[in-house]
């Protein structure tokens, strides 16, 4: 029964709609960090010229506004030059500008830059979640991992970087880069988990063969990741696969190893909620932690032209964002977003969706108290009771 026909419907009753509920909760969100940012801006960037009426404005832009100004970090969170201090934060974003694992179009080495650039468009506040991440989560941008023109040596660099952050108890977010980085990212996570790591892999491609053209390319990450003793294939769930781009050799390997595949056809038939339920059941079965690998090409290529292997018929953005929220709600050990190739993008839309995927997961983790210090300032900060053991 639609609520408009329900006798109990009252216009402007916040409990009736998500939107009104979100709006009603806005007043409960602290603005401490916002005020600190303004104060800092005025100190470091000088008070504005006398003719400017709004005295929160500084002479040199030093905060969120104007959205078109500034040297962009991820969501304008602080750039942490000294990585030794990453333990002071709850969440760290790093770019992995690596694309020599690509087997068709390259360009994903510019993915981190593009995602950071378009992140200037966003605020840290989400209306529907009634969340302001600036107030609820201490985030830093670590800049990029130094990757070089050698796949194996770059894997070592990436695994070391991820492991370093994870070992400090900080939630790591990796912005690729091509999908070959999935293997070293999982390696860096798994080293720091006392038990098995499940993997939720959202993609149009299987990425499960041992080698491609004699190297460990972006068609191979899950073969190698599931060879890690505490990242067994039985906890790998691959969602959204299908079409005409999955090599037979990779499909054969997935079947042999017992990973769980849900094609985009399965998604259509089962619906997003059921798929999320199956994914969580598979990934968490006997596992201590779950890692999320989101390939932007899982979305219909009409929405993501800026990617290396575009494929029609994938997820709609709204579907995949819902799936991401559902699978991250019980907590994650880390996440990666891969295959954004800005040279093929239009109007930054592919980078924007990658960004949206990241903030959707971050927000969900904060709202569910896995990271951060609570939506309404209820937890003190890092190490507070709201800090779930599941991300350990």
Which residue ranges make up the site for Mn ion (CB under 5 A)? 203, 205, 295, 297
* Euclidean distance between CA atoms 228 and 320, whole angstroms: 28
Least distance CB 218 / Mn ion (angstroms): 8
DSSP state at residue 128: T
Least distance CB 185 / Mn ion (angstroms): 15
Provide the token pair at 322. Answer: 């819902």
Least distance CB 227 / Mn ion (angstroms): 20
Q: Residue with structure tokens 């799936």?
A: 323
Q: Which is nearer to Mn ion, 298 or 369 (CB)?
A: 298
Q: Which residue is nearest to Mn ion (CB)?
A: 205
Longest Cα–Cα distance of the chain, Å, equals 71
Least distance CB 308 / Mn ion (angstroms): 8
Q: Which among 293, 241, 294 has a CA at the least distance from the CA of 264?
A: 241
Bridge partners, residue 291, by sequence: 199, 334
Least distance CB 330 / Mn ion (angstroms): 25
Least distance CB 247 / Mn ion (angstroms): 12
Q: Which is nearer to Mn ion, 95 or 101 (CB)?
A: 101
Q: Residues with Cβ < 8 Å from 320, sequence gap 6 or more?
A: 202, 240, 298, 299, 357
Q: Which is nearer to Mn ion, 203 or 348 (CB)?
A: 203
Least distance CB 14 / Mn ion (angstroms): 41
Q: Which is nearer to Mn ion, 328 or 341 (CB)?
A: 341
* Euclidean distance between CA atoms 155 and 176, whole angstroms: 13
Q: Which is nearer to Mn ion, 135 or 297 (CB)?
A: 297
Count Cβ neighbours within 10 Å for each residue of 70-104 and write b for 16 or more, e otherwise: eebbbbbbeebeebeebeebbbbbbbbbbbbbbbe
Least distance CB 205 / Mn ion (angstroms): 4
Q: Which is nearer to Mn ion, 74 or 294 (CB)?
A: 294
Q: Which is nearer to Mn ion, 180 or 282 (CB)?
A: 180
DSSP 3-state of 338: strand
Least distance CB 166 / Mn ion (angstroms): 24
Does residue 147 contact residue 94 with C-beta atoms inside 8 Å? no
Pairing status of strand 236-241 against strand 196-202: parallel
DSSP state at residue 170: P
Q: Which is nearer to Mn ion, 118 or 239 (CB)?
A: 239
Q: Which is nearer to Mn ion, 89 or 315 (CB)?
A: 315
Chain centroid offset of residue 111 CA: 13
Bridge partners, residue 93, by sequence: 141, 173
* Euclidean distance between CA atoms 76 and 275, whole angstroms: 34
Burial of residue 346 (CB within 10 Å: 0-12, 13-18, 19+) is exposed
- Strands in 287-295's sheet, in edge-to-edge order, are 139-144, 91-96, 171-176, 334-338, 287-295, 196-202, 236-241, 260-263
């Amino acid at each position: 029964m639609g609520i408009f026909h329900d006798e109990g419907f009252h216009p402007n009753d916040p409990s009736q709609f998500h939107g009104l509920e979100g709006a009603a909760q806005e007043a409960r969100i602290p603005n401490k960090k916002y005020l600190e940012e303004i104060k800092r801006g005025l100190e470091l960037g000088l008070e504005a010229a006398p003719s400017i009426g709004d005295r929160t404005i500084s002479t040199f832009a030093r905060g969120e506004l104007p959205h078109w100004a500034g040297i962009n970090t991820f969501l304008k969170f602080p750039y942490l030059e000294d990585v030794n201090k990453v333990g002071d934060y709850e969440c760290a974003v790093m770019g992995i500008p690596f694309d020599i694992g690509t087997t068709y179009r390259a360009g994903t080495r510019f993915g981190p830059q593009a995602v950071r650039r378009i992140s200037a468009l966003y605020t840290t506040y989400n209306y529907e979640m009634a969340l302001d991440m600036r107030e609820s989560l201490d985030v830093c941008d670590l800049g990029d991992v130094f990757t070089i023109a050698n796949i194996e040596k770059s894997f070592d660099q990436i695994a070391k970087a991820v492991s370093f952050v994870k070992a400090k108890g900080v939630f790591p977010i990796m912005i690729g880069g091509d999908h070959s980085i999935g293997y070293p990212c999982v390696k860096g996570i798994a080293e720091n988990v006392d038990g098995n790591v499940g993997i939720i892999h959202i993609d149009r491609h299987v990425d499960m063969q041992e080698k491609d053209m004699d190297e460990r390319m972006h068609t191979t990450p899950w073969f190698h990741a599931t060879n890690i003793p505490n990242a067994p294939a039985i906890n790998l769930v691959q969602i959204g696969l299908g079409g005409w781009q999955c090599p037979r050799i990779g499909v054969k390997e997935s079947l042999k190893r017992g990973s769980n595949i849900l094609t985009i056809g399965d998604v259509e038939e089962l619906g997003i909620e059921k798929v999320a339920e199956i994914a969580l059941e598979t990934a968490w079965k006997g596992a201590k932690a779950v890692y999320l690998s989101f390939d932007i090409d899982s979305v219909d290529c009409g929405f993501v032209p800026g990617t290396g292997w575009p494929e029609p018929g994938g997820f709609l953005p709204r579907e995949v964002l819902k799936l991401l929220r559902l699978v991250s709600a019980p907590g994650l050990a880390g996440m990666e977003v891969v295959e954004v190739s800005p040279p093929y993008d239009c109007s930054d839309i592919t980078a924007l969706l990658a960004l949206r995927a990241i903030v959707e997961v971050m927000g969900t983790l904060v709202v569910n108290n896995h990271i951060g210090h609570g939506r309404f300032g209820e937890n003190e900060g890092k190490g507070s009771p709201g800090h779930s053991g599941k991300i350990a």
